[in-house]
Structure 1
Amino acid sequence: MRARRRCIVSASALLLGACALGPDYTRPELPVPQQYRSQTDAVATSLGDDDWRSVYTEPALQSLVESALLANLDLRIAAARVEQARAQLGSAGLRQLPGLAAEGGVERGQSSEYARAAGQPRIGESGTLRLSLAWELDFWGRLRRLSEAARADWLASAQAERAVRVSLVANVATAYYSLCALDERVNAARSSTQTREAFLKLTRAQFQRGVVSGLDVASAEAQLAAAQVSIEDLSRQYEQTENALAVLLAQNPQPLPRGTCAAPQSAPAGLPSTLIERRPDLLQAEQALVAANARVGAAKAALFPTLSLTGAFGALSTDVSELLTGSAETWSVGVGLLQPLLDADRSAYQLDLAQARKREALLLYEKTVRTALREVADALVAQRRNADVLSAQQAQVDALQRAEDIAQARYRAGYSSYFDVINADRDLFAAKQARAQAWLGAQLAIVDLYRALGGGWDATVADGPP
């Protein structure tokens, strides 16, 4: 018993004095700007900090987003990967603990007459009870580094799930506002069709009276057909977009409810320095770098001898009835040292591999940061420019509407040719289509900004590892 206590104390001293090889992780210093490009004024508050329900206030859109967050298959796949990483972390942590095993058995048999010792009965029995312990003393920190890497993988998977959630909220909003714009474009095409049908009827009547030629009738028929084709094409786009939205909701293609298409709420972008702490794909890339850094330490530790502690306690007896007596008691304690000789080069190459993967992870992290900054800058300039485009497009529609009214009045009075009416109607139709596209661009600019800032994941639902 005293010998066992001395071994335990010695092992504890080794563990307390041990250190983990390899560099401890520190976040890379990247040249992050003080404010985003195209940002008018840098303030601490950010749109990315707002809950998605306060950004998308339309009840119909909120209902769609909630349905997607509950049922979307990509999000459920990401959640399953988090559980996989959680299990791997648990397995890695247990490797730092002693392995304990118990065995026991009873055997009765007959030995050969020619093999048994003198005086030994030919038929005999034996019993064994054994409790064994094996513990790799993590003197160089290999197991601790592997556990650190597994934890980083777990955190990375949790951030990946949040990134899927951010993209899902943005994709649902994008599809919703695309449906709104397509609906407006279809309505504009139908309105133009009604106008052109009325003009075709008027032109045919004037042709019968000899006021206009057959060319005017053919032109009116062509303009009507063009509007009808536009309705069919836009209706196709509408249904396909609705089908894509249904897939995001994990539903079969079907009609989906829509509300008043209220615009999303906007807010300042905030500071670039906070983006690194908020955006899930940046945090995911950083955790991948943490894991790669830890695996460098594990590879370094693999170059050194492995120290293990073994122990066993049990009983062995040729008489089962004496198995639990003190005379049958057995025990052993040992310390093992393993230093691979022929595999030394392989371990060195494994270290080179780990270091190369760390450099790759560092470059990917830097690329992800720069891409995120670019996406925010793109969304900011799109938000400002698209608002100006929408304002100008509305002014164009108002002007062309007045021009068409004047052209129709002059045509009825006989002061203008039908080609003036055709040109005015065609220009107005194109301007209305462009206005719908400009409106969509203005809404999607806010959606893209919210996504680029990492907004959209709910901490109460997508809470990651502590």
Structure 2
Amino acid sequence: MRRLTLMAAAALLSACALGPDYQRPDLRLPAQFRLDTSGSTDSLGDSGWWQVYRDPTLAELIARALQNNLDVRIAAARVDQARASLQATGLQLLPQLSAGASLGEQRVSTFSAPLPDRRFERSSLSADLSWELDFWGRIRRTREAARADLLASDASRQAVKVSLVAAVATQYFTLLALDQQLDITRATLELRKAFVDLTQAQFERGTVSGLDVATAQAQLATAQANVPTLERRIAQTENQLSLLLGGDPAAVARPPHELASQPVSPSLPPGLPSSLLERRPDLRQAEQALVAANARVGVAKAALFPTISLTGSYGSLSNEMSQLFTSPAENWSIGVNLLQPLLDADRNRYQVDFADAGRRVALLGYERSVRTAFREVADALVGRQKTAEYEAAQAALVSAQNDAHEIALARYKVGYSSYFDVINADRDLFAAKLTLTQARLDTLLASVQLYQALGGGWQAAPPPAAATGG
């Protein structure tokens, strides 16, 4: 028995696994991202989310979301599933031992055995050992696929975190923008109410017509109609953010920050395209899916060959319990089992074709994911650059419109400017301020999209002392 076991172990160690060994496909990556001329290996994506989103309120919201979000918890449970599957697969490489015992009494009918004592005790004790010799690498390839599934599940969990961090930042910045637009609207309401009073007084003195009063009141109503729209959008955004935090729809406490005071992520280069393959969790997930599909080709090929197992058993059988452990009651066996599928041979060959096609699907999916990632980074780079330029131009427009409004109002009060000059200047200034707020939001969201496209946001936050530099 011992000699046979050693021979089987030596044969097992020398056996090779069927199927192709995995090699990362050569996708001929570009040397740098489009619009990036730095060529630096440093990347914004290597920064932790607490370094990029430095608003204390936002940082606290992100931490809560990563702790309580249901999608993150579901992804973590799937990792546990994949880990348990890998551990169960690993046990197939070990001998399988089973034991059984029975104790009973049997009564024989007088019609079948005319014996004086028709009652018999029957007891048995057995142990069976079976060990499949993995000559063709079926179990090893299965374990390789299970390990890739585990890594893919963990990468998927990290990808969920990246999306969650970006979603929380997006909803938070959107809330601040809506708050600011609501403040602008309310301030405009106060100015227009005062202008309605001024126009009404001038009408009573006979210096303006009733048309001027009606037009001023219409301008006031236009601003008033904007208030419930903004309040609705604020409530809905709060509800969405509450869901991301793992809670029920509720108001989100936040300080009255000016959107312009929000720090934009540092202008670090995006890094090298080759490093994106390691940093972005969704690309690691796609690659591990390819690794698993490649390993399953070997599993399918191994199914074409016979399964070889060592078997052994030892037991005792006795009609009396007292003799169960005596030498005459012992029985044992040892052997080698060879199982070759015959009727399923064609089916197994089709399974090889199926697995090979699955590997090609995974390969093409991986390449598509990589190309999509490069496009997302390029889009985010041009987005961050152009939104910042647009915001600067819009800020200059607001400054000019504010000067025009003040001049038109001052001239109107002394009778040097027409009423319609004031109305036009007020309307243009109001629209320019709202547009500037949206431009600032777009600049912040462009930074969020770039950080997400570079694969940042899944890193675990350091302890509070380390995060604050204490």
TM above 0.5, yes or no, is: yes
Match of residue 245, structure 1, among 241, 245, 256: 241
> Residues 3-22 of structure 1 correspond to what in structure 2 (within 5 A)?
4-22=1-19
Equivalent position of 2:370 in the other structure: 369
Which one is further off, 284-293 or 130-139? 130-139
Check whether the contact 1:264–1:447 (CA below 8 A) recurs between aligned residues: no
Equivalent position of 1:155 in the other structure: 151
Equivalent position of 1:383 in the other structure: 384
Whether 1:264 and 2:260 are equivalent positions in the alignment is no
2:250 partner SS: coil
Q: What is the TM-score of this pair, normalised by structure 1?
A: 0.95
1:95 partner SS: helix
Distance 2:243 2:461 in 1: 25
Q: CA deviation at 1:257?
A: 2.2
1:192 partner SS: helix
Q: CA deviation at 1:99?
A: 1.3
Distance 2:264 2:78 in 1: 32
> Residues 37-186 of structure 1 correspond to what in structure 2 (within 5 A)?
37-116=34-113, 121-186=117-182
Equivalent position of 1:295 in the other structure: 296
Whether 1:205 and 2:204 are equivalent positions in the alignment is no
Q: CA deviation at 1:460?
A: 6.8
Q: CA deviation at 1:13?
A: 2.5
1:385 partner SS: helix
Distance 2:346 2:108 in 1: 50
Equivalent position of 2:440 in the other structure: 439
Q: CA deviation at 1:327?
A: 1.9
Q: One-letter code of the match for 1:251?
A: G
Match of residue 20, structure 2, among 23, 29, 34: 23
Deviations 1:380-424 (CA, angstroms, capped at 9, x unpaired): 111111111111000000000000011111111212211111111
Q: CA deviation at 1:122?
A: 2.8
Distance 1:436 1:139 in 2: 68
Whether 1:313 and 2:314 are equivalent positions in the alignment is yes
Distance 2:223 2:287 in 1: 53
Q: CA deviation at 1:97?
A: 1.6
Check whether the contact 1:407–1:421 (CA below 8 A) recurs between aligned residues: yes
Deviations 1:36-87 (CA, angstroms, capped at 9, x unpaired): 1111412111111111111111111111111111101110010011111111
Residues 347 and 393 of structure 1: CA distance in aligned 2, closer, same or farther (over 3 Å): same
Which one is further off, 135-144 or 256-265? 256-265
Distance 2:6 2:188 in 1: 91
Distance 2:327 2:116 in 1: 23
Q: CA deviation at 1:23?
A: 0.2
Q: CA deviation at 1:254?
A: 1.7
Check whether the contact 2:48–2:461 (CA below 8 A) recurs between aligned residues: no
Whether 1:191 and 2:192 are equivalent positions in the alignment is no
Check whether the contact 2:156–2:285 (CA below 8 A) recurs between aligned residues: yes
Residues 120 and 331 of structure 1: CA distance in aligned 2, closer, same or farther (over 3 Å): farther
Distance 1:234 1:307 in 2: 72
Q: One-letter code of the match for 1:229?
A: A
Structure 2: tracts of 5 or more residues without a match: 463-470
Check whether the contact 2:50–2:461 (CA below 8 A) recurs between aligned residues: no
Q: CA deviation at 1:315?
A: 1.1
Deviations 1:203-240 (CA, angstroms, capped at 9, x unpaired): 11111111111111111111101111112211211111
Q: What is the TM-score of this pair, normalised by structure 2?
A: 0.95
Deviations 1:146-179 (CA, angstroms, capped at 9, x unpaired): 1111111011000000000111111111111111
Distance 1:440 1:210 in 2: 46
Q: CA deviation at 1:459?
A: 4.3
Check whether the contact 1:175–1:241 (CA below 8 A) recurs between aligned residues: yes
1:136 partner SS: strand
Deviations 1:274-316 (CA, angstroms, capped at 9, x unpaired): 0001110000000000000000100000011111111101111
Q: CA deviation at 1:341?
A: 1.1
Whether 1:215 and 2:211 are equivalent positions in the alignment is yes
Q: CA deviation at 1:127?
A: 1.6
Equivalent position of 1:464 in the other structure: none
Aligned residues: 457
Equivalent position of 1:330 in the other structure: 331
Residues 237 and 148 of structure 1: CA distance in aligned 2, closer, same or farther (over 3 Å): same
Deviations 1:165-209 (CA, angstroms, capped at 9, x unpaired): 111111111111111111111111111111111111111111111
CA RMSD of aligned residues (A): 1.5
Q: One-letter code of the match for 1:360?
A: V
Distance 1:459 1:313 in 2: 53
Distance 1:412 1:361 in 2: 73
Q: One-letter code of the match for 1:244?
A: Q
Q: CA deviation at 1:120?
A: 9.1
1:335 partner SS: strand
Distance 1:100 1:460 in 2: 45
Q: CA deviation at 1:434?
A: 0.7
Equivalent position of 2:468 in the other structure: none
Aligned residues with identical type, % of pairs: 56
